[in-house]
């Protein structure tokens, strides 16, 4: 046993949007060699049946407690996975782990300092959705979490307004949830103030899963009930358009010449 195995590891991995075909080989290898896996119930469920793994599922408002427990177990020398859907660094568990490390008390720090913390990327929802739609994120874009759980609603509105003025395409995560249905309503209001009525908006629900659905409408046709907590919303820039059954944003902007 080398020192790396003795010291324990916490590997924060991205499982992609749902279809196992979108896992990377790196994450597959980490799953194969881990001893334990922590995560929100539906992500842990994806590893059910892997007998070498001890599974530790928890609810989706318990990110910090989950990160603490995972670090404690890793400090005992185990190889621990922290599961995220999509990419762990995009509105997911990687930041929660670093928040816990930053806020650690001296006893925790002493316990955790030998743990090897790694992050392994995954296919985040906006890239999977964009690929199914065509290439709506083919030019400059921004990525905004519409949940006001961890930031004020005014900050979100301010960012959408500036993003529209910058003519970014936009990807919206967590457009609304059962407990907070108003996030996407507010976003739509700002878009209607800032963008032309023909602007394309794409609703990608459960991308890569058997019940995947895609819907593309003009801003003037968009309504709040088109997005739920399983929907990734992509708002086109002023240049985003349809070609056949696809939606794409050209690479060039404000110039006629192509490479």
Hey, which residues between 26 and 55 contact a copy of itself (CB under 8 A)?
A: 26, 28-29
CB 170 → a copy of itself: shortest distance, Å? 9
Site string for a copy of itself, 213-242 (x = CB under 8 A): ----------------------------x-
Binding-site size for a copy of itself (CB under 8 A) equals 80
CB 102 → a copy of itself: shortest distance, Å? 4
Residues in the chain: 259
Tell me if 18 contacts a copy of itself by CB under 8 A.
no
Tell me if 114 contacts a copy of itself by CB under 8 A.
no
Mind giving me the DSSP string for 197-253?
TT-EEEEEESTTSTT-EEEEEEGGG--GGG--TTEEEEE--TT-EEETTEEE--S--
How far apart, in whole angstroms, are the C-alpha atoms of residue 1 and residue 251?
51
CB 137 → a copy of itself: shortest distance, Å? 5
How far apart, in whole angstroms, are the C-alpha atoms of residue 74 and residue 6?
10
Q: Which of 140, 170, 20 is nearest to 85 (CA)?
A: 20
Q: Which of residues 137-176 bind a copy of itself (CB under 8 A)?
A: 137-145, 149-152, 155, 158-159, 162-163, 165-168
Tell me if 23 contacts a copy of itself by CB under 8 A.
yes
How far apart, in whole angstroms, are the C-alpha atoms of residue 259 and residue 257?
7
Q: Which is nearer to a copy of itself, 54 or 190 (CB)?
A: 190
CB 99 → a copy of itself: shortest distance, Å? 6
From the list 38, 91, 184, 203, which residue makes contact with a copy of itself (rule: CB under 8 A)?
91
Q: Which is nearer to a copy of itself, 41 or 253 (CB)?
A: 253
- Please give the DSSP secondary-structure letter assigned to residue 122: -
Please give the structure tokens belonging to residue 25: 């080989």
Please give the structure tokens belonging to residue 241: 């358009």
Tell me if 206 contacts a copy of itself by CB under 8 A.
no
Q: Which of 51, 57, 60, 10 is nearest to 32 (CA)?
A: 51
From the list 94, 187, 188, 226, which residue makes contact with a copy of itself (rule: CB under 8 A)?
94
Q: Which of 47, 10, 13, 19 is nearest to 121 (CA)?
A: 13
How far apart, in whole angstroms, are the C-alpha atoms of residue 122 and residue 146?
21
Tell me if 189 contacts a copy of itself by CB under 8 A.
no
From the list 122, 175, 183, 236, which residue makes contact with a copy of itself (rule: CB under 8 A)?
122
Tell me if 250 contacts a copy of itself by CB under 8 A.
yes
């Amino acid at each position: 046993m080398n020192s790396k195995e003795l010291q324990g590891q916490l590997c924060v991995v991205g499982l992609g949007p749902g279809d196992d075909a979108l896992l990377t080989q790196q994450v597959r290898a980490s799953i194969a060699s881990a001893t334990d896996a922590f995560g929100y119930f539906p992500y842990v469920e994806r590893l059910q049946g892997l007998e070498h793994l001890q599974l530790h599922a928890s609810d989706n408002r318990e990110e910090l407690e989950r990160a603490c427990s995972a670090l404690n177990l890793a400090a005992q020398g185990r190889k621990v996975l922290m599961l995220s859907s999509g990419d762990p660094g995009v509105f997911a568990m990687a930041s929660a782990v670093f928040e816990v490390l930053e806020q650690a008390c001296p006893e925790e720090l002493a316990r955790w300092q030998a743990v090897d913390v790694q992050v392994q990327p995954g296919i985040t929802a906006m890239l999977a959705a964009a690929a199914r739609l065509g290439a709506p994120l083919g030019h400059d874009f921004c990525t905004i979490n519409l949940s006001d759980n961890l930031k004020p609603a005014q900050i979100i509105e301010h960012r959408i307004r500036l993003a529209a003025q910058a003519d970014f395409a936009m990807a919206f995560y967590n457009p609304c949830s059962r407990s907070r249905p108003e996030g996407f309503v507010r976003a739509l209001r700002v878009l209607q103030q800032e963008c032309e009525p023909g602007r394309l908006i794409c609703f990608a629900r459960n991308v890569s899963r058997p019940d995947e659905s895609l819907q593309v409408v003009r801003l003037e046709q968009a309504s709040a009930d088109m997005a739920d907590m399983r929907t990734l919303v992509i708002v086109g820039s002023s240049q985003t358009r349809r070609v056949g059954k696809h939606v794409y944003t050209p690479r060039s902007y404000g110039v006629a010449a192509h490479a």
